[in-house]
A = this chain, B = another copy of it.
Amino acid sequence: MSTKNKILDAAEQLFADKGFNGTSLREITSQAEVNLAAVNYHFGSKKELIKAVMSRYMNELSPRLESALEAVCQQQGQPSLIQVFSAFVEPLLSLNEFQENGTSNFLQLLGRGYTDSQGFLRWFLTTQYPNVISYFVDAVQKAYPELTPEDMFWRLHFTMGTIVFTMSSSDALMDIAANDFDRKMDIGEVIQQVIPYVAAGVAAPINRAD
């Protein structure tokens, strides 16, 4: 395994667990068993390392996501919102073959990126991977044509929030659920739990009474 990949793997795990600000380069390099200076040699800076960790996942995920959403859009008849959201499941779960804890790590990183470091990661994702977003918007548009662009905007961000936030604390939540309900869930089951919720949320009737 190359030094570069050892750093990426260690950084990914630590970033997911403790956030970007909460993880030092020394923690990363000692877990990766490489020299401290290797990060700046291979990546230039900590900020570039964060981008590299996210890019590795996005480059794996975004083509699968785009084709899955495309398939839903192009199937004959109007797709349901459940179908649109379900299109995410397989690509997301496939990250587990790409990397250990891949699905969970990626979603946690996404959550971190929205709140840590003044949202520069949100800028990075929306500018670097605009296709995923526009494909998704098209799919939802087809499934729920009555939704105005403005309502769509908000509901997509609510959805993003639900997913990302849930996943960023999914480990803690799964622990609680295991204790309280005696049922051990994996990340796939949590995703299955959240889909009806977000689908119903997006499909909620529009309240123009106010």
> CA separation between A37 and B16, bound complex, in Å?
33
Contact residues in B for A111 (Cβ distance below 8 Å) = 115, 165
For A180, what are the chain B residues with a Cβ–Cβ distance below 8 Å? 149, 153
Number of identical monomers bound together in the oligomeric complex: 2
Q: Are A204 and B193 in contact (CB under 8 A)?
A: no
Contact between B166 and A157 (Cβ–Cβ < 8 Å)? yes
- In the complex formed, the residue of B with least CB distance to A203 is B200
Contact call B203/A169, Cβ cutoff below 8 A: no
Cross-chain contact B150 with A197 (CB below 8 angstroms)? no
A118 within 8 A of B: yes
CB-based contact B193/A154 at 8 Å: yes
User: In the bound complex, do residue B181 and residue A149 qualify as a contact, i.e. CB atoms below 8 Å apart?
Assistant: yes
